[in-house]
Amino acid sequence: MPYTRVQQASDGGNTATLTVTLGAGPTQGNLLVAWANSDSTVTIGGTGWSAGPSIIDGNGAYTWYKLAGPAEPGSVTFTPGGGADYIGAGLIEYSGAFASAAASLDQSTSVAHTAAATFTTGTASVTPTTWNDLVIAVACLHQYATATADPTAPAWTGGLANLQSQASTGFTGHSTYTFYADLTDTGQGAATVSANCTWATTQTDNAQLLVLAFQSPGKDITLGAAASTTAAAARALGAGLLEAGAFAARTAKLTRRGRLLADAVVRDLLAPPSGPAIW
């Protein structure tokens, strides 16, 4: 069963702590993914978080993930190191996760673009090993010093769709901007997803791209790296197996009826019923 996005929230500011709050408390067992992009290092509040890919360069770009526990709070607090600083952060909930967060992470990677004005991140690729992977990409931009407007019009490769666009605050050369995108059902294992984000209006001098892929427990089949099975072929194979099973069942039923009839004839020949002969 593919992942389903349940709810999401993001926020930003120039602050010593930033709290991001979902509309409702997460459901126990659902996957939670958090990110932060700051002009400083960042720590995340709460327990049970595992660190995803991160890059600390001109800005600090981070991801975390966990499974929601019983009575999981709907708010998460992010803290820049060294006091108040520019920070943007987000929190997203997905259903369809594995029974453990560690088992659910399939692939992760990152790429950094630094020290030159750009309208694009680098490309970071993951190759899911199972069907129905959830792929997440976070483009953490560090605002260019001459910026007078936010980046706009995010466009993603790899089938990813933009979900969150979040500024920290201000245009002083120290603020950050983040685009978050996901692909909730890759559809086919061993099919590489190459993530790249481009935007318009404002260039940045640092652009960190963080990518994660999560397995679904409802996968159809686990594939090796060289597999070439398509979804259509897998469905056809499944249909063929079902038909073969039904044929075997019908054959077995007919064979059993034939044996019972033969046994009855033999019994009649060896011990004819009483009464007038009929032959």
- Torsion angles phi and psi, residue 105, rounded to 5: -75, 120
Collapsing DSSP to helix, strand or coil, 238 comes out as helix
pLDDT mean across residues, the chain: 83
User: What does the pLDDT look like over 124-166, one tens digit per residue?
Assistant: 999 998 888 999 999 999 987 677 888 999 999 999 999 999 9
Q: What's the mean pLDDT in 98-105?
A: 80
Q: What's the mean pLDDT in 257-271?
A: 55
Contacts of 104 (CB under 8 A, 6+ apart): 31, 65, 67, 97, 98, 214, 215
Pairing of β 75-80 and β 18-21: antiparallel
Residue ranges of the alpha helices (H) in 210-279? 231-270
H helices then E strands: how many in the chain?
2, 18
DSSP category for residue 83: S
Residue 174: per-residue pLDDT: 74
Three state DSSP letters for 120-176: ECCCEEECCCECCCEEEEEEEEEECCCCCCCCEEEEECCCCEEEEEEECCCCCCCCE
Q: Which amino acid, 175?
A: S
Residue 242: per-residue pLDDT: 53
Helix, strand, coil percentages (3-state) for the chain, rounded to 5, are 15, 45, 40
Between CA 132 and CA 185 the distance in angstroms is 5
CB 3 within 8 A of CB 216: yes
Residue 259: per-residue pLDDT: 61
User: What does the pLDDT look like over 186-239, one tens digit per residue?
Assistant: 877 778 999 999 999 999 888 999 999 999 886 544 445 444 445 555 455 555
Q: What's the mean pLDDT in 84-106?
A: 89
Q: What's the mean pLDDT in 88-106?
A: 88
CB 34 within 8 A of CB 89: yes
CB 37 within 8 A of CB 175: no
> Where residue 114 falls among pLDDT bands split at 50, 70, 90?
confident
**Confidence check: pLDDT of 105 > 50:** yes
CB 147 within 8 A of CB 171: yes
Neighbours of 160 (CB within 10 A): 23
CB 192 within 8 A of CB 126: yes
